[in-house]
Structure 1
Amino acid sequence: MRNTLSVVMNVIWLLFGGIWLAAGYFLAGIICCLLIVTIPFGIASFRIAVYALWPFGRRVVDRGRVGAFSTIGNVIWVLVAGIWIAIGHVLTAIPMFASIIGIPLGIANLKMIPISLMPLGKVIVPSAQYLPVPR
């Protein structure tokens, strides 16, 4: 039942905003790969683009301790592309909240903002595999 609900939500997501968000991530990835130094950002952007196409049933998890290069890279990413993609998530979430069926989509859209701002040091896993680590 849960898998069926995820598929239905993903199809609705795809039709009402997911394809445009993924296109933004793909565009950012292409631009980053053209500029040789930013290829790691491009790879992260492509990974998130696939997640933006089909987000329900998957989670974003921290890889754990990340190095200084990932932290510096995330700061550069925020300045170059992350802020614009985050604004795209907010602008896409607003009309989704306007309807009853769109509220879960708007919430999912807002939940994607942290990974759009800081993609390095994150991994996307199926929700069934996710086991939170006790602190």
Structure 2
Amino acid sequence: MLRLILNVVWLVLSGFWLFLGYMLAGIVACVLVVTIPFGIASFRIGLYALWPFGRDVVRLPTAGAASTIGNVLWIVLFGWWLVIGHIATALALAVTIIGLPLAWANLKLIPVSLLPLGSRIVDSDTSMPGQPVLR
């Protein structure tokens, strides 16, 4: 029940706007054929940003060299800007006591917004034992 309340508050205060931003970035990235993997990653992050409580990011051990190269390109082109944006938003949310869990959720988005390729988003209840979870 707490997850539902936190997700609804998150959705109203910041999740919807993050979702729209990531969806817009995904659409722009999908216009060019070369950047379609970035667009798909942006869609995945956007859906995670819409409803983050009760979900975790799991690194895929089978991700290969292509995802590593893609992550390096992502960091150089988009990753640092996204991290700065999430930190700034988290600081703004942390001003109030009610905003503290929302700030934490924003900080929780940093690993996947920095290295989106080679990871997947799963429910916290169904995350597999032995897989590295990025929290």
TM-score, normalised relative to structure 1: 0.91
Q: Is the 8 A contact 2:58 2:131 kept in 1?
A: no
Q: Pick one of 35, 40, 45 that aligns with 1:43.
A: 40
In 1, Cα distance between equivalents of 2:78 and 2:17 = 15
Equivalent residues in 2 for 1:120-131 (5 A)?
A: 120-131=117-128
**Which sections of structure 2, spanning at least 5 residues, go unmatched?**
none
| Per-residue deviation, residues 85-113 of structure 1 (Å, max 9, x unmatched) | 22221121111100111111111111211
Alignment RMSD: 1.5
1:21 equivalent in alignment to 2:51: no
Partner amino acid for 1:69? Answer: A
Partner amino acid for 2:83? Answer: A
**Which sections of structure 1, spanning at least 5 residues, go unmatched?**
none
| Per-residue deviation, residues 37-93 of structure 1 (Å, max 9, x unmatched) | 010110111011011000001111011132111000011111222222222211211
In proportion to residue count, which structure has more helix? Answer: 1
Deviant stretches of 4+, over 3 Å: none
Q: Pick one of 93, 98, 107 that aligns with 1:96.
A: 93
Q: Percent identity?
A: 56
Q: Is the 8 A contact 1:24 1:85 kept in 2?
A: no
Q: How many residues align?
A: 132
SS at match of 1:119: coil
SS at match of 1:37: coil
1:76 alignment counterpart: 73
1:54 alignment counterpart: 51
In 2, Cα distance between equivalents of 1:48 and 1:60 = 10
TM-score, normalised relative to structure 2: 0.91
In 2, Cα distance between equivalents of 1:14 and 1:90 = 18
Q: Pick one of 5, 10, 33 that aligns with 2:7.
A: 10
